[in-house]
């Protein structure tokens, strides 16, 4: 029977669609020549805040690869820029802040900023949705758009360090040296991230993903006490759509990542999906977790690895195939297209795989 529910949303609801859904983190841009053409002459943040440009980049990978979802083209720094925080994204470095947040006075000054006007984001989502509504996905006549935001800890880590850091020592020190300022900082980050997610959902996003790039640097007790409540606050800002929570290096935190308000958990490439399913009690839809390095390892190695990921993912109630981190910018786009075709040709469940082998 034909369904109007795209495979992505079926899988996030814990069901097994006939076709395995697949999309890639950082698919909106990075390796595509059409992305570089769309962004020519524009900085990253300028590209994100020009609705026509952001919408065009959002739908490019759906046109090229026929993935089962678009991820909204933006950056985790956009809500900070909209709130009036002085931040730039320096090529080859990443986010750089004019004034790092290091003291109680710095925190008080920061949290006085209100979430900014999301109109450029709203308009970009609406433009992208207008095109995606006519692009089939599985048996459905439309392809869903995923909204996203950076998790409060990741935003706070950038704000405190003032630039990318390998170990986030200053952020982790502030967490313990001044718990009141830390709570105020994380609460503000949750508010702006939550508002950013809500704007995307209200404009038409059919699911959301909260990215916690740096939570893997934390001990579990620190994550549970000082971080997870704020991730939950950000996720709780939206309702009515499935919520994916993804972090890198978070194999030791997976149940806590789920319990922060997620309907599905993204698993990075370090933790096999059958092990992740066991840690989560067999009741949580999973997303992941092809190793991005395998995209450059040759088709034989990549295809064998992708089949193994899918087989391990059969243990979960639902599985969205994805990378275990973002698309490297040096990736050959044709490899991604071929990987999508492979995933779509594989059985959607262990039962259908067994029936096909019989």
3 state DSSP class of 77: coil
Q: State the catalytic residue, choosing from 16, 19, 64, 75.
A: 75
Q: State the catalytic residue, choosing from 16, 19, 35, 39.
A: 39
What phi and psi, each to the nearest 5 degrees, are found at residue 288?
140, -165
Q: State the catalytic residue, choosing from 16, 19, 26, 102.
A: 26
Torsion from C-alpha of 47, 130, 246, 351, nearest 10 degrees = -150
d(CA 222, CA 103): 20
- Parallel, antiparallel, or unpaired: how do β-strands 319-323 and 286-290 relate? parallel
User: Is 39 among the residues known to form the active site?
Assistant: yes
For residue 229, give the H/E element and its range: helix 228-236
User: Is 75 among the residues known to form the active site?
Assistant: yes
d(CA 268, CA 324): 4
Q: State the catalytic residue, choosing from 16, 19, 30, 172.
A: 30
d(CA 70, CA 88): 25
3 state DSSP class of 86: coil
DSSP 22: B
Q: State the catalytic residue, choosing from 158, 223, 269, 314.
A: 158
User: Is 230 among the residues known to form the active site?
Assistant: no
- In sign, the C-alpha dihedral spanning 53, 58, 59, 62 is positive
Whole-number Cα distances in Å, 237 to 33, 169, 216, 269: 36, 29, 24, 29
Q: Which residues are catalytic?
A: 26, 30, 39, 75, 158
């Amino acid at each position: 029977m034909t369904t109007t529910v795209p495979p992505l949303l079926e899988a996030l609801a814990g069901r097994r669609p006939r076709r395995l859904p697949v999309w890639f983190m950082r698919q909106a841009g990075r390796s595509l020549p059409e992305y570089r053409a769309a962004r020519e002459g524009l900085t990253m943040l300028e590209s994100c805040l020009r609705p026509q440009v952001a919408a065009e980049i959002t739908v490019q990978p759906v046109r090229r690869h026929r993935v089962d979802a678009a991820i909204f083209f933006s950056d985790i720094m956009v809500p900070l820029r909209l709130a009036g925080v002085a931040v730039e994204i320096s090529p080859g470095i990443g986010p750089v802040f004019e004034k790092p947040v290091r003291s109680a006075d710095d925190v008080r000054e920061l949290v006085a900023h209100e979430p900014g006007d999301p109109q450029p984001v709203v308009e970009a989502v609406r433009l992208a949705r207008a095109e995606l509504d006519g692009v089939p996905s599985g048996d459905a006549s439309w392809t869903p758009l995923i909204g996203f935001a950076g998790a409060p800890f990741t935003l706070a880590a950038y704000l405190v360090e003032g630039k990318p850091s390998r170990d986030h020592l200053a952020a982790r020190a502030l967490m313990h040296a001044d718990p009141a300022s830390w709570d105020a900082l994380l609460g503000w980050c949750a508010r702006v991230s939550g508002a950013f997610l809500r704007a995307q959902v209200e404009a038409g996003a059919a699911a959301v993903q909260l990215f916690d790039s740096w939570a893997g640097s934390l001990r579990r007790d620190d994550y549970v006490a000082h971080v997870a409540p704020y991730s939950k606050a950000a996720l709780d800002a939206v309702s009515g759509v499935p919520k994916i929570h993804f972090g890198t290096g978070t194999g030791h935190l997976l149940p806590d990542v789920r319990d922060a308000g997620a309907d599905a958990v993204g698993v990075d490439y370090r933790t096999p999906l059958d092990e992740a399913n066991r840690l989560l009690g067999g009741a949580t839809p999973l997303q992941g977790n092809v190793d991005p390095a395998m995209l450059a390892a040759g088709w034989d190695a990549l295809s064998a690895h992708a089949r193994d990921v899918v087989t391990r993912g059969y243990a979960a109630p639902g599985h969205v195939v994805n990378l275990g981190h973002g698309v490297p910018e040096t990736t050959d786009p044709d490899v991604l297209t071929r990987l999508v075709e492979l995933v779509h040709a594989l059985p959607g469940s262990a039962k259908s795989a067994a029936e096909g082998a019989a």
